[in-house]
Amino acid sequence: MNTRSRVCRSCGGLNGAREQRCYRCGVALGGLGPTLGAWFSRPAVATQTLVALCCVNFAFLVYINGSMPLSLIGAGPRLSAMAQTGAIMLDFASREPWRLLAAVYGHLGVLHLGMNMLALVQLGRAVEQQLGSARLVVLFTVTGVLGFVASGFWYGHLSPPTAGASGALFGLLGHQIGVLHAQNNPNTKSLLLQQLAYALAMALLLPVNNAAHFGGFAAGFGMGWLFFFEKRPARLESLARAAALVCLGLAVASIVLSARSPLVAEARVYDALRD
């Protein structure tokens, strides 16, 4: 008979050998195994993982493109390179819906990547401290995808080339403001106006996807309410961690599918016409 105590990998609480849940935080003991439990307990691990995925995908774009695109303004990468790294263009998303997720991790220039990653590090760490690593991954994924869904409704099937984590970043902002609104915080209105002014400035200065920003923000606002009123979040931690792993797995799979897509051949035809 096993009489050893069990240590909760989430909060470090010491539990009896027969306990199924931690007495301190309510997390299922051993639900995802000690290794995964320890991984989720590392500080800012979700933010670091999301940044790493974006950077690796951009490095892949640079390799395929043969040069490093600098910014959103200018020639930019070749269409075939964008297609292989998950960008949404033309009617590709209607034929390959996984691009709605792959595009969240794609960026079209080093300045585009740098601006978004700086914002992700700041926002991601703040949200991760509040929600935990697993829920940050779920929030980032859902708002990023819904941002591009909104973009698809706005632009229709023939979308201009678009990619980037900014829809998900606006989702993180929407979450923060959604929580403040659920708390009846008097600063909610002023913060909302600040974010609208920021979005307007970006729209005037840069060729950004405002539809994706709006869609991500609206989705994040709603999820902020849901997370704020979530009952016994500790008891759902194992489910949240499983959902986060699914989200990360689907993100990698969507990028791989884009890289192997037969539609890349169509993008090469457009490249040839442009050249």
Predicted confidence at residue 57, as pLDDT, reads 97
Whole-angstrom distance, CA of residue 238 vs CA of residue 230? 15
Predicted confidence at residue 2, as pLDDT, reads 43
Residue among 116, 249, 187, 213 at smallest CA distance from 179: 187
Task: Give DSSP secondary structure letters for 131-171.
Answer: H-HHHHHHHHHHHHHHHHHHHHHHH-SSEEEE--SHHHHHH
Predicted confidence at residue 1, as pLDDT, reads 40
Predicted confidence at residue 124, as pLDDT, reads 93
Residue extent(s) of CATH 1.20.1540.10 domains in the chain: 44-274
Residues of the chain with pLDDT under 70: 1-41, 71-75, 195, 198-206, 275
**39-to-54, 133, 136, 272 alpha-carbon distances in Å:** 20, 10, 14, 46
CATH topology of domain 44-274: Rhomboid-like fold (1.20.1540)
Q: Residue 156, CB half-sphere, CA atoms under 13 Å: how many?
A: 1
- Confirm if 83 and 92 have CB atoms less than 8 A apart: yes
Predicted confidence at residue 220, as pLDDT, reads 96
Predicted confidence at residue 183, as pLDDT, reads 84
Cβ partners under 8 Å of residue 158, min gap 6 = 90, 91
Whole-angstrom distance, CA of residue 109 vs CA of residue 107? 6
Digit-coded pLDDT (tens) for 208-220: 888 999 999 999 9
- pTM of the predicted model as reported, rounded to 2 decimal places: 0.83
Taking the C-alpha atoms of 257, 258, 262 and 263 in order, what is their torsion angle to the nearest 10 degrees? 150
Q: Tell me the pairing of strands 6-7 and 14-15.
A: antiparallel
Whole-angstrom distance, CA of residue 61 vs CA of residue 81? 6
What the block records as the tokens of 50 is 């999301």
Share of the chain above pLDDT 90, in %: 50
If DSSP codes are grouped into helix, strand and coil, which group holds residue 223? helix
Question: Considering just the CA atoms, what is the radius of gyration of the chain in Å?
Answer: 20
Residue among 48, 47, 26, 30 at smallest CA distance from 38: 30
- b/e map 159-175, b = 16+ CB within 10 Å: bebbbbbbbbbbbbbbb
Alpha helix ranges (H) inside the chain? 33-41, 45-65, 79-84, 92-95, 99-102, 110-131, 133-155, 166-182, 188-205, 210-228, 237-259, 264-274
Predicted confidence at residue 158, as pLDDT, reads 74
Q: Which residues are catalytic?
A: 166, 213
Predicted confidence at residue 136, as pLDDT, reads 96
